[in-house]
Amino acid sequence: MSSRSSISKHTRSILPDPIQREAYWRGARELLPAAPGVFAWGLVTGVAMVKSGLSIEYALIMTFLAYAGSAQLAALPLLVTVAPLWVVALTAIAVNLRFVVYSAAMLPHLRHLPPSARVGLGYLIGDIGFAKFSALLEREPNYPHRVAYFAGGASCNWVLWQASSVIGILAATTIPVEWGLALAGTLVLIPLLVPFCRDRPALAGVCVASVVAIMGHGWPLRLGLVAGIVAGMLTALSLERLLQRQSAA
Q: Pick out residues in 128-147 that bind other proteins (CB under 8 A).
A: 130-131, 134-135
Stretch of 21-29, 42-50, 97-105, 144-152 lying at the interface with other proteins (CB under 8 A):
97-105
Please select the residue that binds other proteins; options are 14, 100, 159, 242, rule is CB under 8 A.
100
Report the C-alpha gap between 225 and 192 in whole angstroms. Answer: 18
* C-alpha span between 222 and 218 (Å, rounded): 8
| Nearer CB in complex with other proteins: 113/171 | 113
In terms of CB distance, is 20 or 96 closer to other proteins? Answer: 96
- The verdict on 23 binding other proteins (CB under 8 A) reads no
**Is the CB of 106 or the CB of 169 nearer to other proteins?**
106
Which one of residues 42, 46, 152, 232 is an interface residue with other proteins (CB under 8 A)? Answer: 232
**Contacts with other proteins in 178-217 (CB under 8 A)?**
179-180, 182-184, 186-194, 196-197, 201-202, 205-210, 212-214, 217
User: Up-side HSE of residue 235: CA atoms within 13 Å toward CB?
Assistant: 20
- Binding range to other proteins, per CB under 8 A, among 1-9, 11-19, 120-128, 143-151: 120-128
Min CB(233)–other proteins separation in Å: 5
Contact assessment for residue 40 and residue 182, using Cβ atoms and an 8 Å cutoff: yes
Number of residues located near other proteins, criterion CB under 8 A: 91
CB of 175 vs other proteins, minimal distance in Å: 16
User: What's the Cα-to-Cα distance from 188 to each of 43, 119, 191, rounded to whole Å?
Assistant: 15, 27, 6
Cα distance from N-terminal residue to C-terminal residue, the chain: 59
Output the 3-class SS for 51-119.
HCCCCHHHHHHHHHHHCCHHHHHHHHHHHHCCCCHHHHHHHHHHHCCHHHHHHHHHHHHHCCCCHHHHH
The reply on whether position 175 binds other proteins by CB under 8 A is no
- Contact with other proteins (CB under 8 A) among 19, 119, 242, 243: 119
Region binding other proteins by CB under 8 A among candidate stretches 5-13, 17-25, 92-100, 145-153: 92-100
Contact 14, 152 (CB under 8 A): no
Near other proteins by CB under 8 A: residue from 9, 111, 139, 245: 111
Q: Are 46 and 63 in contact (CB under 8 A)?
A: yes
- The answer to whether residue 243 forms part of the interface with other proteins (CB under 8 A) is no
Q: Residue 169 Cβ, how far from other proteins at the closest point, in Å?
A: 14
Spatial distance between the Cα atoms of 82 and 61, rounded to a whole number of angstroms: 18
Residue 3's closest CA among 148, 121, 159, 146?
A: 159
